[in-house]
Structure 1
Amino acid sequence: MNDNRSMIEVMRNRKSIRTYKTENISDGDYQAIIEYIQKAGSFSGPFNRQGKVALVQVNNNVTDKGIKLGTYGFIKNPRAYLVGITEKNKYSLVDFAYSFHKLTLFATGIGLGTCWMGGTFSRNSFEQELSSIKDGEFIPCITPIGYPNEKERIFDKAVRVVVKADNKKAWEKLFFDAAFDKPLREENAGPLAIPIEMLRLGPSASNKQPWRLVVSPDRKTSHLYIEHTPNYSSSLGYDMQLLDMGIAMCQFDMACKELSLEGKWIVEDPEMDLPNSNYEYIASWQINS
């Protein structure tokens, strides 16, 4: 990816791609992905939890080992998959999603399509393919990669309508000024307006957008919460919406970096009054003093 390209532009324009061209990924693009994974090494984010990513090439969703990878018909003509591996606990999931989303944005920036998948794939088939999964680890998410097939995206558009992918919640439903009883207006967000908008535009499971942000009066601290959807992914054995929080943190953080708003994520619960029992504190972004 061109280092001068705006990551904010990439985040604004990224869409989930489910239908791909049948042409193979170019050697240059494939090597760029490999080098990114090798350079990243351990896929850790702000909380320094350990994760890793495997790159699996496929032909008609069949690997070189002859294993059929199951995506329940949601993905057409993928050329490869990026497969995430981490531990099944709160901050490992959030942390890994942060770093995995950076990889998907990198792939988007070099012209590849991606589609976050946390539930609509057969974990067993991917586990059979990989030998790098240790005790205590599992596959929380994958993404196909390949070149978007712009001419045959009727299926993609239909899925976007079903999950309401283009219907993002308004600011006043997601962001708050000092406390949850006062919605944050975009014109009052100061220098954080663009990072908060990038957070709003991030992908999430079934487009639930479970993130909630409370910004301090001086705009130097932003407290991130999840509003859990009860029983949303209980059948999967883990809270898939925690991945959404890592995505949100990544979108916000990368926008801040591009705008030279230097800060960091910390875990210091401000113990605010919460709207209901489905809310849970995740982390706070704090401008460097």
Structure 2
Amino acid sequence: MTTTQSMIDTMRKRKSIRTFEERALEHSDVSQIREYINNPQNLIGPFGGNGKIEWIPVTKNVTDQGIKLGTYGFIKNPSSYLVGITQNNKYSLVEYAYIFHKLVLYVTGLDIGTCWMGGTFNRTSFEKEISLGIDEFIPCITPIGYPKEKGRMFDIALRYVVKADNKKPWEKLFYDGNFQIPLTKEKAGILETPIEMVRIGPSASNKQPWRLVLSEDRKQCHFYIEHTPNYSSSLGYDMQLLDMGIAMCQFELACQELNISGDWKIEEQTKPVPNENVEYIVSWKIDS
């Protein structure tokens, strides 16, 4: 990805790709991705943690069992997989997803296809390929490869099934000062585009669990999660926390492009929440 390429445009064009061309990645693309994941600066999260991402080329012992993706069908002809590793606690999952999504967007900027996979892949197959530390696990992976044009109808059909393009409107996700007043685009000020990038971001089963409350002085944007009860409980971790990391990544990268300086802070919140499933995660504070 060139330094002049718009990250906002990249976020808008990113789609989940499941059908790839039957060819290896070009050497230049491989070099750029490896250089990215080997640079520690690229793997620092919003709370100062360090991410761990592995590159796994497609080999016989990984693909023998087909890596079935449930209702998503099969990933077809991936060149490689990018695999993330973290610990199973709230802020580790949020931070990890932020780091992993930055990589997904970087790869998208190289015109390489990706597909977030959290609960619909054969974890055991991938765990055999990497070294896991104590209390570490693989929360998600992405296949990568060049999108196959003739496979687009397959991907479009799957997007329809999972309602991937059916995003909730602003008034269902974003709020003005408190949870009683919906936020409109017109009143979002300089944060309109960063908030819109949150809205269009990917999420597990397109649940869009993020809820944002913009402060009355427009200096803070508070990020909450509205948990879907029992979602991903069979997996042993809260997959929707990954969605919050994705939302933070989309929001911050848009702010950076628009020269809106700020930082993430975890603060005590006293605002009443609309129901027991809503939980505070973090706040973005614009620099004075």
TM-score by length of 1: 0.95
User: Could you tell me whether the CA contact under 8 Å between 2:42 and 2:99 is conserved in 1?
Assistant: no
Deviation by residue 1:35-69 (Cα, 9 ceiling, x = unmatched): 0001136833111223300001115xx35x88656
What is the letter of the counterpart of residue 50 of structure 1?
A: N
Alpha-carbon distance change, 125 to 272 in structure 1, aligned in 2, over 3 angstroms: same
Alpha-carbon distance in 2 for matches of 1:235, 1:256: 36
How many angstroms apart in 1 are the aligned matches of 2:246 and 2:26? Answer: 27
Amino acid at match of 2:218: R
Partner in structure 2 of residue 146 of structure 1: 145
Counterpart AA for 2:17? I
Aligned to 1:71: 68
- 2:243 maps to a residue whose letter is D
Structure 1 residue ranges (4+ consecutive) displaced by more than 6 angstroms after TM superposition: none
1:233 aligned partner: 232
d(CA) in 1 for partners of 2:29 and 2:77? 17
1:29-48 equivalent positions in 2, closer than 5 A: 29-40=29-40, 43-48=43-48
Q: Which runs of 5+ in 1 are unaligned?
A: none
SS at match of 1:129: coil
Q: What is the 5 A alignment of 1:39-58?
A: 39-40=39-40, 43-58=43-58
Aligned to 1:90: 90
1:246: how far off?
Answer: 0.1
- Paired AA for residue 39 in structure 1: N
Opposite residue 116 of structure 1, the aligned amino acid is: W
How many pairs were matched up? 285
1:70 Cα deviation (Å)?
1.9
Is the 1:226–1:280 Cα contact (8 Å) retained in structure 2? yes
Identity value in percent: 61
Work out the CA distance in 2 between the residues paired with 1:100 and 1:71: 22
The alignment partner of 2:43 has SS state of: coil
Whether the 8 Å contact between 2:67 and 2:74 is mirrored in structure 1 is no
Q: Which residue of 2 is the match for residue 19 of structure 1? A: 19
Distance 1:93 1:274 in 2: 23
Q: TM-score, normalised by structure 2?
A: 0.96
| Deviation (angstroms), 1:269 | 2.7
Task: Kindly provide the CA deviation profile for residues 172-216 of structure 1, in whole angstroms up to 9, marking residues without a partner as x.
Answer: 000000000000000110000000000101000000000000001
Q: Is the 8 A contact 1:86 1:140 kept in 2?
A: yes
- Structure 1 counterpart of 2:222: 223
How far, CA to CA, are the matches of 1:102 and 1:207 in structure 2? 19
What residue in structure 1 maps to residue 184 of structure 2? Answer: 185
Distance in 2 of aligned mates of 1:35 and 1:274: 43
- Distance in 1 separating the partners of 2:63 and 2:139: 23
Structure 1 residue 80 displacement after superposition: 0.3
| Superposition CA RMSD, Å | 1.4
Cα distance, 1:66–1:238 mapped onto 2, change above 3 Å = closer
Q: Tell me if the contact between 1:221 and 1:287 (Cα under 8 Å) persists in the aligned partners.
A: yes
Structure 1: distance between partners of 2:158 and 2:81? 20
Paired with 2:50 and 2:32, the residues of 1 have a C-alpha distance of 22
Q: 1:278 deviation in Å?
A: 0.2
CA contact (8 A) 2:45 2:51 kept: no
Q: Which moved more, 1:186-195 or 1:265-274?
A: 265-274
- The answer to whether the 8 Å contact 1:50/1:92 transfers is no
Structure 1: which amino acid aligns with 2:276? S
Residues 128-143 of structure 1: pairs in structure 2 closer than 5 A: 128-130=128-130, 132-143=131-142
Is 1:108 the equivalent of 2:105?
no
